[in-house]
A and B are shown apart, each in its own frame.
Chain A
Amino acid sequence: DAGVIQSPRHEVTEMGQEVTLRCKPISGHDYLFWYRQTMMRGLELLIYFNNNVPIDDSGMPEDRFSAKMPNASLSTLKIQPSEPRDSAVYFCASSSQGAQPQHFGDGTRLSIL
């Protein structure tokens, strides 16, 4: 069975550029989560969706970050404009129900120069 698929795996770009990360959840999973992992802060929730609707975006750092889920097979996380402090590994996870285990993709390693 295909797991959660994230693209790109690595992204290096210059400060001020727009960055778009993509996630394809496991088929049939109704919940999709975006997390960010840094050495200093560990894994932190950014936002999560239920049936393509954003439920909790309290972890989104600021207006430079936006996330969408146009359909059940795709979610995007956009950073515009990007800053060096956004450098981190961004993970997407999905679950069949909210209380069920979340299954993670292998992440996007983002470096903003």
Chain B
Amino acid sequence: EDQVTQSPEALRLQEGESSSLNCSYTVSGLRGLFWYRQDPGKGPEFLFTLYSAGEEKEKERLKATLTKKESFLHITAPKPEDSATYLCAVQNYSGYALNFGKGTSLLVTP
């Protein structure tokens, strides 16, 4: 059975203090690994898809990387508006459902 574990559960950063969020996974044939951002009272908002080990993608202050066992979401010089819950999900070759981790709740203070 696929498993996705995210750490830490919660992270508090000062504005400008860079850090990384971790997503460890076990999956029977990875089709893709997805990162989402979720704001309170809203649905998850798509950020990135990674398909193979070594792949990297960037968007503004966010950079996602992938190895065969884990993915990292690097946040460079975060701003308060980056505060949200970040969700990682895997999709395997047996179907198209996403299997989500529990998320990392990020708070960036001024």
Contact B87 A106 (CB under 8 A): no
Identify which of B11-19, B40-48, B66-74 touches chain A.
B40-48
* B96–A31 CB distance below 8 A: yes
Shortest A84–chain B CB gap in Å is 22
Pick the contact of A101: B31, B42, B46, B99 (CB < 8 A): B46
Flag the segment in A13-21, A40-48, A63-71, A75-83 that touches B.
A40-48
Report whether B97 and A107 are in contact in the complex, using a CB–CB cutoff of 8 Å.
Answer: no
Which of B41, B46, B99, B102 lies in contact with A102, CB distance below 8 A? B46
A99–B91 touching, CB < 8 Å: yes
Q: Is A29 an interface residue (CB 8 A)?
A: no
Whole-angstrom distance between the Cβ of B102 and the nearest chain A Cβ: 5
How many residues of chain B get a CB closer than 8 Å to chain A's CBs? 23
Q: Mark B36-56, 1 if CB is under 8 A from A, else 0.
A: 100001111110010000000
A31 to B97, CA, bound (A): 10
Interface size for chain A: under 10, 10 to 19, 20 to 34, or 35 or more residues?
A: 20 to 34
Give 28 pairs: A residue, B residue, CB < 8 Å, sorted on A: A33-B96, A33-B97, A42-B100, A42-B101, A42-B102, A42-B103, A43-B44, A43-B89, A45-B97, A45-B99, A48-B95, A55-B95, A59-B97, A93-B43, A95-B96, A99-B31, A99-B91, A99-B96, A101-B46, A101-B49, A102-B46, A103-B46, A104-B36, A104-B43, A104-B44, A104-B45, A106-B42, A106-B43
Closest 4 CB pairs of A and B: A104-B43, A98-B96, A43-B100, A45-B97
Residue numbers of A with Cβ under 8 A of B are 4, 31, 33, 35, 42-45, 48, 55-56, 59, 91, 93, 95, 98-99, 101-107
